[in-house]
Structure 1
């Protein structure tokens, strides 16, 4: 990037220009791949703080249009049916079958120091994961995930 100087800017009495409008770029480099076994086709699975608890086996899925909570996490957080609100939209599994919905619940999800309120659809279905975090959460954080490097990045502070 080139910067042109105007004679008036050379004067020591002039205030310094503040950098403005610098676009934020989130990207991945080969350094991000260090520590992963390549090649692989693994899902991106992380630990997140959900509802005040560290929750393991959370799948980050850019293909999901909703955040899904499975029975193990529902029970592990000691949630009760009275904690849920109704959720009436149909949900179809990967196999094309209708999924039994228990309802919806809003819980805080902490990533670093950022806390986002997330609406989880609670389902009655088996999964090796405790929850799926999809596009609504990723977009709220402004996050980018990359399964090849098993990493997720999002803007934080500066």
Structure 2
């Protein structure tokens, strides 16, 4: 989770637990996390508690959900179709992304990388 979202949720520094493992940015630079926080994430009617590593780095995204959330939700994802499907109350729930928004995020990311700003992802996600 990026610091802008963390602050936007009115979460305080004292809400963070310790997290001492450095992360590797998209540009290969090391980023020291601010800490770790567990928050409930709702997708449709499903709610899953997710641990977020909070970083002070630029990103066009507000947070990145990775394997623990995907596994907890029993998600099947398609990056080609920008959607995920998951079992929900005896049916199939679906979250659909936006191709236009994905393109905008890519353009913003490339522009900021060319300015030397750091984008972060956990090393474990690689």
Partner of 1:95: 27
1:69-148, aligned counterparts within 5 Å? 69-148=1-80
More helix by share: 2
Q: Give 1:100 shift.
A: 2.5
- Secondary structure of the 2:5 match is helix
Q: 1:149 aligns with which of 73, 78, 81?
A: 81
Contact 2:20–2:32 at 8 Å: present in 1 too? no
TM-score by length of structure 1 reads: 0.55
Which one is further off, 145-154 or 103-112? 145-154
Contact 2:21–2:32 at 8 Å: present in 1 too? no
CA distance in 2, matches of 1:131, 1:125: 11
Contact 2:21–2:33 at 8 Å: present in 1 too? no
CA distance in 2, matches of 1:150, 1:116: 21
Contact 2:37–2:54 at 8 Å: present in 1 too? yes
- Secondary structure of the 1:108 match is strand
Aligned residues: 90
Q: Give the CA RMSD over aligned residues.
A: 0.9
Give ranges in structure 1 of 5+ residues lacking alignment. Answer: 1-68
Contact 1:109–1:116 at 8 Å: present in 2 too? yes
Which protein shows a greater Rg?
1
